[in-house]
Amino acid sequence: MGFYLGIDGGGTGCRAAVADASGRVLGTGQAGPANIASDLAGARDNILAAAREALAVAGLRGLEALSAGLGLAGANAAGMAEALRRALPFARIRVETDGIAAVKGALGARDGIVCAVGTGSVFAAQIGGRIRQIGGWGLVLGDEGSGAWLGRALLREALRAAEGFREGTPLLTDVLEGHGGVEGVIAFSLAARPMDFAALAPRILGSDDPAARALVAAAVADVVQSIEVLQTDPPLPVTCIGGLGSFHADRLAEHWTILAPLGSALDGALMLAREA
């Protein structure tokens, strides 16, 4: 009997599931971040750790016998997917972006648009089984509307307030002081990973501070614009997933029909494993 491994990996962590030929999940595991563009070696180690945990829970051995489907942040960066394939022991491997896995899991065979927003962001439309993805470029070039984008924007606004470019607010003052002033914010930014920026997002989402409201409005506007690029006539329903999925779904409902996901990105990764 063949066994399948699904891996859903992003900037905050990675999840693994082992399933049998009938699709029944036998074991799951989890580990740290698995963005292969920002840290290929670390992502490989976390993928293997999560896979071994899932195998152990399932009472199985032998990574080398698995057909693996991996939906990973950073898989669209040149050469990264192939470099990862060479570093993994699985019998068969299919590597796609985490956005592709998310679409497969969330939509199954139905047409629609997936808005996947967590630490980062990616958007995709599926029509007749064909998937078009936009975004997913990482924090340096994109990740609009995401937790990392919000956290970085909060620090930027705090610095602008400190230098007199904008009026300060209680939130901006508190964030600046909490990091030890301008120099502390700069030092933080030099070593921070996307997940570190994203850790600041709850301070924005739960705040009535004027700066927080402005940042939320900008994030939602970017998400709306991304979905508009993918929309058709008549419009497709939108499915929101990820750590900030429900937050954005509440705000997108005035624009489009919102449908709950059929499954998770991990379910989509298991689908990829069957196609490996």
| 38 token code pair | 């920002």
Average pLDDT by stretches of 10, the chain with 276 residues = 88 90 92 89 94 93 89 87 91 90 91 92 92 86 93 96 92 94 94 91 93 96 96 95 92 95 92 88
Helix (H) or strand (E) holding 72: strand 67-72
pTM of the model: 0.80
Helix (H) or strand (E) holding 201: helix 201-205
Q: What is the pLDDT of residue 1?
A: 56
Question: How far apart are alpha carbons 174 and 200 in whole angstroms?
Answer: 12
Q: What is the pLDDT of residue 142?
A: 85
Domains and CATH numbers, the chain: 3-108+263-275 (3.30.420.40)
| 31 token code pair | 């580990």
Q: Which of 127, 34, 124 is nearest to 88 (CA)?
A: 34
Q: What is the pLDDT of residue 62?
A: 85
Q: Strand, helix or coil at 167?
A: coil
Q: What is the pLDDT of residue 57?
A: 94
Pseudo-torsion of CA 169, 160, 182, 38, nearest 10°?
110
Give the pairing of strands 112-117 and 25-31. Answer: unpaired
| 125 token code pair | 């439309």
